[in-house]
Amino acid sequence: MYHVDITADLNDEDETGYVWTFLDEARDPSQIKPGSLVVAGDEDAAAICQVIDLTPAGDGTIVHLKLLPGLVDDYRALVERALAS
Amino acid sequence: MPGERIEQRSRLRAERPPSTATLVIRGGRDTPDKLRSHAQRTARAWSLDGQPLLGISVFAVLDIPLDELLRRRFTSFRTIYLPTVARLAEHGFGLLATGQRPHFTIHLHRADDQELTHLLTALGAPQPNPQYARSAVWREES
């Protein structure tokens, strides 16, 4: 069960080739900035993504997300390894 | 500042529809509520011929083998759906060539309970993704 920063359907892509979702689906939209790393998806399927850009569309703002390789758990293990004394 | 919905008609890829035998991938384990939420998100952002476009994203196995596409794009999904184009069509669902090849959008008409339940039936049973967790991140041996 994941607690994501921004809800998205990780199957969604547009002509940019990036995953997209709406900014107002973020837990804290102020943290969603180009270059930020976030956990995107839903409680069942999530991935680490990099925010690419924010674009007005429809009645809100679309966030483009670059899927990064690996599972969320892999990044936790990576950080724990790096910080281990 | 909010903008207009993104009209998809002029953006649809000009390519032949995939053959009926083509496999279609959708990652995840869906429910009617999840599908409704995803379809409504698409309709919020996209339009088709001026009308909100209710749709669900899938990828077709066209230019690269299934396992390669799963490895490139679906490693974070424990389960996947893998219907054929024919199976979707038998249930009345057509594909729009949206985004970059091989992404497609299953075009819905109402996204109500009946249609979404019907779509779940068309997607078939979720199955284990053989490329799940095939990570590019170095993992300690346990």
pLDDT tens digits for A25-62?
999 999 999 999 999 999 999 999 999 999 999 899 99
Cross-strand partners of A14: none
More confident residue, A79 or B8: B8
Chain A contacts to B (CB-CB under 8 A): 9-17, 20-22, 25, 41-42, 44-47, 55-62, 67, 69-72, 74-75, 77-78, 81
Q: Is residue B57 part of a domain?
A: yes
DSSP B23: B
Per 3-state DSSP, chain A is made up of helix, strand and coil in percentages (nearest 5) of 20, 40, 40
Does the pLDDT of residue B1 top 70, yes or no? no
Does the pLDDT of residue B86 top 90, yes or no? yes
Judge whether B50 is closer than 8 Å to chain A, CB to CB: no
Range of the domain at B45: 23-126
At A64 the pLDDT is 98
Question: Contact, B99 vs A15, CB < 8 A?
Answer: yes
Is A75 close to B137, i.e. CB distance below 8 A?
yes
Work out how many CB contacts closer than 8 A connect A with B. Answer: 104
Cα–Cα–Cα angle for B92, B102, B7, nearest 5°?
70
What chain B residue is nearest to A60 in terms of C-alpha separation?
A: B2
Q: What is the mean pLDDT of chain A?
A: 95
Distance CA A9, CA B84 (A): 21
Q: What do you get for the CA distance between the two ends of chain A, in Å?
A: 29
For B64-79, the pLDDT digits (tens) are 999 999 999 999 999 9
| Mutation choice for A interface testing from B30, B76, B100 by most A CBs within 10 A | B76
Q: Is residue B11 part of a domain?
A: no
Q: What is the mean pLDDT of chain B?
A: 94
Question: Contact, B53 vs B42, CB < 8 A?
Answer: yes
Share of chain B above pLDDT 90, in %: 91
For B120-140, the pLDDT digits (tens) are 999 999 999 999 998 766 666
Does the pLDDT of residue A85 top 80, yes or no? no
At A84 the pLDDT is 87
Cross-strand partners of A38: A49
Q: What is the pTM of this model?
A: 0.94
CATH class of A6-83: mainly beta
- Specify the number of domains making up chain B: 1
Of A45, A58, A67, the CB nearest to B45: A58
Alpha-carbon distances of A46 from B7, B19, B40, rounded to whole Å: 28, 31, 20
Query: Cis before residue B52, ω within 30 degrees of 0?
Result: no
Could you give the ipTM of this predicted complex?
Answer: 0.94
Residues of chain A with C-beta less than 8 angstroms from the C-beta of B75: 69-71
Distance CA B60, CA B126 (A): 16
Mean pLDDT of the B85-101 span:
98
| Mutation choice for B interface testing from A4, A14, A55 by most B CBs within 10 A | A14
Max alpha carbon distance in chain A (Å)?
49
Q: Is residue B138 part of a domain?
A: no
Q: Is residue B115 part of a domain?
A: yes
Q: How far is B66 from chain A (nearest CA, A)?
A: 16
At B141 the pLDDT is 59
Nearest to A58 by CA among A12, A21, A10: A21
Does the pLDDT of residue B14 top 80, yes or no? yes
Cross-strand partners of B92: none
Q: Using 50, 70 and 90 to split pLDDT, how confident is the model at B30?
A: very high
Question: Contact, A30 vs A8, CB < 8 A?
Answer: no
At B115 the pLDDT is 98
Residue B73 is encoded by which pair of tokens? 């794009």
At B137 the pLDDT is 67
Beta strands in chain B (DSSP E): 6-7, 24-27, 46-48, 51-52, 55-60, 79-81, 94-96, 103-107, 127-128
